[in-house]
């Protein structure tokens, strides 16, 4: 999909003010919906007949407490097939990014304890030009997010705290429409695919590889 409409809507909400954008979660929920829609259109007729559906803000049991998961693909009997978190941070990035990263890894540990065979993804959005600093160290954050991705295909059932796939959505909100800078992210960490453009494709392909007998996706 093209992301012009999604990021234009997010920009419009953000320009209403910090309360409308962040505290109300209206800003990030636009991205939730876009990712959920990409996953939903790939559910096969066989999957729909079995009741497989995309759920936003599903309350899933973690190892110690419930987790509100941003976007999930869920089977009515067998539980979550794909679990995807989504976060944005528009300011104070260098101050808080490591704390948030630890939290994200902790979420993965808790949910992977409960659902080790689910496919885990995450999307983290940062502005290319934060208003409080003016510049973003794209290379640094590409490496941080890359270190949280790449759950092993050989030992994924026993691995905790790492995601199968990660997307670093670096967006230039100064342009009209805003532009997704996947090229800068790839340059910052060429060893790991952190593209938002193919995140849902990567998640679905991993599910198919792990479950070749299940035809839940096109």
Cβ atoms 156, 116 nearer than 8 A: yes
Overall average pLDDT of the 31-40 stretch: 97
Give exposure, 113-141, as e/b (b: 16+ Cβ within 10 Å).
eebeebbbbbbbbbbbebeeeeebebeeb
198 burial (CB, 10 Å; 0-12 / 13-18 / 19+) is middle
Query: What span, in angstroms and rounded, lies between the C-alpha atoms of 120 and 203?
Result: 7
For the stretch 74-110, pLDDT in tens is 999 999 999 999 999 998 999 999 999 999 999 999 9
Domain boundaries, the chain: 4-210
Q: What is the dihedral of CA 151, 103, 198, 27, to 10 degrees?
A: 170
- The answer on pLDDT for 19 being more than 70 is no
Nearest to residue 129, comparing CAs of 97, 173, 93?
173
Nearest to residue 145, comparing CAs of 129, 160, 163?
163
Overall average pLDDT of the 35-53 stretch: 98
What pLDDT is stored for residue 148 in this prediction?
A: 97
Strand order in the sheet with 165-172: 53-61, 66-75, 79-88, 119-127, 165-172, 179-180
Overall average pLDDT of the 57-74 stretch: 94
- The answer on pLDDT for 183 being more than 80 is yes
Nearest to residue 63, comparing CAs of 26, 106, 19?
106
Overall average pLDDT of the 166-177 stretch: 96
CATH entry, 4-210, from 1.20.1080, 3.40.91, 3.40.50, 1.10.1040: 3.40.91
């Amino acid at each position: 999909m093209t992301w012009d409409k999604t990021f234009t809507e997010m920009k419009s909400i953000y320009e209403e003010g910090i309360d409308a954008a962040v505290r109300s979660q209206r800003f990030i929920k636009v991205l939730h919906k876009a990712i959920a829609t990409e996953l939903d259109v790939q559910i096969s007729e066989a999957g729909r007949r079995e009741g497989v559906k995309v759920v936003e803000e599903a309350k899933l049991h973690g190892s110690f407490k419930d987790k509100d998961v941003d976007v999930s693909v869920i089977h009515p009997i067998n539980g979550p097939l794909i679990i995807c978190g989504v976060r944005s941070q528009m300011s104070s990035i260098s101050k808080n990014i490591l704390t948030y990263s630890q939290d994200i890894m902790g979420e993965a540990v808790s949910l992977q304890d409960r659902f080790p065979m689910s496919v885990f993804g995450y999307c983290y959005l940062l502005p290319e030009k934060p208003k409080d600093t003016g510049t973003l160290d794209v290379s640094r954050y590409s490496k941080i997010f890359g270190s949280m991705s790449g759950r092993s295909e050989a030992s994924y059932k026993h691995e905790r705290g790492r995601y199968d796939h990660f997307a670093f959505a670096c967006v230039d909100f100064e342009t009209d429409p805003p532009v997704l800078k996947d090229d800068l992210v790839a340059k910052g960490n060429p060893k790991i695919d952190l593209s938002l453009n193919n995140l849902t494709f990567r998640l679905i392909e991993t599910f198919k590889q792990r479950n070749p007998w299940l035809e839940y996706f096109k």
